[in-house]
A and B are shown apart, each in its own frame.
Chain A
Amino acid sequence: MTLTLERPRADQAHAVTPAPQPRARPEKIAAGLTLVALVTASVLSLISVDISLPQIAASWSNATRFFDRVGVISFPAPGELLYLTALTVGLVLLGTLFAAFFSVPLAWLAATNTAPSRGWMAFARFLGVLIRAVPDVVLAMVFVLMFSLGTLPGILAIGIHSIGMISKMFADAIEQIDEGPRLAIRAAGGTPVQEFFSGVLPQVLPSWVATVLHRNDINLRGSVILGYVGVAGLGLEMSYAFKSLNYSLGLGIALVIFALCVVMEIVSSAVRTVMLGLAPTRQGIGDRLLRRLGVTGLKADASHRPWTYARLRNAVWGLLFVLIVIGSVWICEIKWGDFLTVWSYLPETAAKFWPPSFGSYDASVMLAAMGETIAIALAATILTIVASIVIGSLAARNVAPSKRVRAGFRLVLVTIRGIPEIILAIVLIVVTGLGTQAGTIALAIGGIGLLGKLLADSLEEVRSGPEQALAAVGATRLQVYAGATAPQGMKALIGHSFYMLDTNIRAATILGLVGGGGVGYYLLNAGQGSRYDLVTTIVLMILVTVVAVEGLAMWMRRVFR
């Protein structure tokens, strides 16, 4: 035992003072009122979008008629299908890696603990929000004009758009590191760059890899829509099929994309497990195999790094990754020359987009279309929230009545997450013949997969003390949920819901491109009709809306923290 001089002081005598009355801050009242206004607006949107049971029943008869007409689902020839699949995957992967590469410096500038100054931090964060606000479809439309047709516009559109989200998540990861190792390297005379590579990077790498994999999944789903503006791959073939009224082929490609998304989700979750796995135990099958083969784990002289199973596994994964990237570059047939010639087109292209104008439309028509997009997003969000509260709660360990129920609802959530919402929208629109309603329902269903999961995770993370306390006084399961679990998860629900709204606003603009109503329809028309000044106007409207919602969400999260 070591004698220690640090000892807590004895408490002073308790002075009994009356408890101060809690006062709601004016900011909190304002935020509460905004929340009520948003919920009201969402309900009104739901009514205006006209989602009702008779509507859905009517569309069901449409669907049966549709399937009678289409008959069997058909697929492209196997060779072509394989090529298109590889092309789509390669294009998406290269786009995501492009984004990951350029996100590193931006994240470094945007993270509070690494930003060189407050000015740089504000700049980097603003740039991230701005980049995120421009949908990748819009970028693709622009790049298709500037580059030769092929994969490059798609790679760049995905790459640039993804920087917004990836750099934000990278910066969040940097902010969560343990500062100690960084300080140790500074104390040993390391430069700031060395601090980053030896002190920060090893700590954030697992989280960064998870982010990139997650974004790659999102991009794969989103790549479908890029086909509608001329980016090569499965999406383009699908859009051709639907445009030529070859519904059986279109649905076949949609099915392939759906399967691809599910496979990708499984692969990336496997990679995540390997990357984020526990420290090697040296007791695994691989280690035993290596020992049997005479490869000893730790050499006595320690002059060479031993080929442990973990090292071998990492080396194999690394090699595989490099091969996949090389394969992606090869199959995408990137026209590198475009990077040289593009600069001569740049002024000409830029001139087409400026100045913005409403074209042949009235300003009120455009504003109404934007309003419709916002209504779709709000209506979808409120539907998602209601459904997610039920499904998400039942998927939480501490709420579900049994393990089997939890597992069942978790499976429902995973399945829904596997469905690309844009595919769902396209299929619903084609099958039911409805526009806005089908789009809203597609967004709402797609949202459940995400919000339900986030909510279930948040509920599982609440402190269990209050729950046990209520259970101890004899409360029923429902009373425990209402009295202890739900109140603790409320803040998380508000935060996640705003994230959902944020995502849905973006998604709703894209819906219009496939016939889901709103401003996206005009965007596609303007693009195809070469009315680029109108494209600029619509993009600016989307930008303002997205940034406004983002600002609102940030404010709400801060107030309700």
Chain B
Amino acid sequence: MAGSVPAAEPVIDVRGITKNFGETTALKHVSLTVARGEIVVLLGLSGSGKSTLLRHLDGLDRPDSGTVTVLGTAVSSLRGRPLRALRGQVGFVFQQFELVGSLTVLENVLTGALFRVRGPRLGLWGYRRDLKQAARGHLDRVGLLAQAYQRADTLSGGQQQRVGIARALMQNPRILLADEPVASLDPESSAQVMALIREIAIDSGLTVVCSLHQVDLALSWGDRIVGLRHGEVVLDTATQGLSKQNVMEIYGRVTTSTGELDAIETELGTVEPGEPDEQGELDLATFSSARDNRR
């Protein structure tokens, strides 16, 4: 069991982990410390190692070398019951929600309490009354109490992700991990879900590590951005007080090539496609206004 962590001690402490999947290296000497209550964004393109890093924090993957310490416990050496006890304290929100579609919303939320009960559960009657009450409370928190007895697959994507959040809350977690929580959602639901996660995190003093691939969303949402590229940490900065020059640097660091920057320019509509342009000479004023328009 993880003991109580003094405020000064980091809740997440990753030291020099490397992870290979066959020939490909997913993480290369990655280190990361997260203090209690921090809201951290892992920023990077797909394949940069964000998901793998998150999976390491929950003990779903084991590093080839290096150590992962979460809530004062060395995750990489845990197995069986102690590992499950740690996972119980860490909520995980998935890109594809990962609900059981044929079960009701309430049953899906209750699966978040499985580590607190002994043995398997089938249907609603297997859970204690107080757990069901708590689950309804969490559903109310995410605004879906009216849908409690609907099948999960009858909900929209944004609603399903909110159920996913309620399921994570059901664990009474101390840390919330989110792997691209809005990558499968439309812009409006994305904004709702991201706002909800931040609101809950601040209300309950949760430590949050959330992976994203949208720079602008990361900048406006997180307290701190950790950039990953090809499995290496290339950036670690607080989002407050960033100058426009810094923002451009972030784009430069997390993207792979100048080609990607050109793509951003084209998307922003500031540069005619095909017009020769040097890296970094993007019109920042236009970028900012475009960013504001999107809000």
Contact = CB atoms under 8 A, between A and B. Distances in A.
A483 interface: no
A6 interface: yes
A180 B184 CA distance: 14
Contact of A189 (B136, B171, B259, B267): B171
Interface string B257-276: 00110011001100000000
Contact of A1 (B89, B153, B187, B259): B187
Interface stretch (B2-10, B107-115, B203-211): B107-115
Contacts of B121: 194, 197-198
A244 interface: no
Contacts of B120: 193-194, 196-198
A181 B114 contact: no
A183 B60 CA distance: 9
Interface stretch (B34-42, B96-104, B232-240): B96-104
Nearest to B264: A3
B108 to A, nearest CB: 8
Interface string B218-235: 000000000000000000
Contacts of B170: 188
A161 B30 CA distance: 55
Contact of B167 (A184, A193, A194, A298): A184
Given A3-B264, A197-B121, A279-B154, A302 B149 contact: yes
A351 interface: no
Contacts of B106: 305
A185 interface: yes
Interface stretch (B12-20, B80-88, B278-286): B80-88
A11 to B, nearest CB: 12
A197 B185 CA distance: 29
B79 interface: no
Q: Say which size band chain A's interface belongs to.
A: 35 or more
B146 A298 contact: yes
B151 interface: yes
A298 B144 CA distance: 13
Chain B binding surface SS class: helix
Interface residues of B, number: 65
A4 interface: yes
Interface in B48-96: 58, 60, 84-92, 94, 96
Contacts of B115: 188-190
Contacts of A198: 100, 111, 114, 120-121
B248 interface: no
A470 B175 CA distance: 59
Given A188-B88, A188-B115, A305-B124, A3 B214 contact: yes
A2 interface: yes
Interface in A196-237: 196-199, 201-203, 205-206
B86 to A, nearest CB: 8
A202 B100 CA distance: 7
Contacts of A9: 259
A161 B46 CA distance: 49
Nearest to A204: B102
A403 interface: no
A243 interface: no
Nearest to A182: B98
Nearest to A179: B98
Contacts of B98: 178, 180-181, 183-184
Contacts of A306: 149
Of the candidates A184, A188, A202, the one having the most CB atoms from chain B within 10 angstroms of its own CB is A188
Contacts of B134: none
B111 A190 contact: yes
Given A1-B294, A184-B167, A279 B151 contact: yes
Contacts of B96: 180
Given A3-B264, A203-B100, A187 B87 contact: yes
A194 B145 contact: no
Interface-central residue, B190, B259, B263, by most chain A CB under 10 Å: B263
B216 interface: yes
A303 interface: yes
A147 to B, nearest CB: 33
B149 A187 contact: no
A152 to B, nearest CB: 30
Interface string A1-33: 111111101100000000000000000000000
A184 B98 CA distance: 6
Contacts of B91: 188
B215 interface: yes
Nearest to A305: B149
A3 to B, nearest CB: 5
6 contacts: A2-B187, A6-B46, A7-B263, A10-B259, A189-B85, A189-B86
Interface of A: 1-7, 9-10, 178, 180-181, 183-191, 193-194, 196-199, 201-203, 205-206, 279-280, 298, 300, 302-303, 305-306, 308
Given A5-B263, A183-B94, A194-B114, 6 more contacts: A2-B190, A184-B98, A187-B90, A189-B114, A189-B171, A302-B145
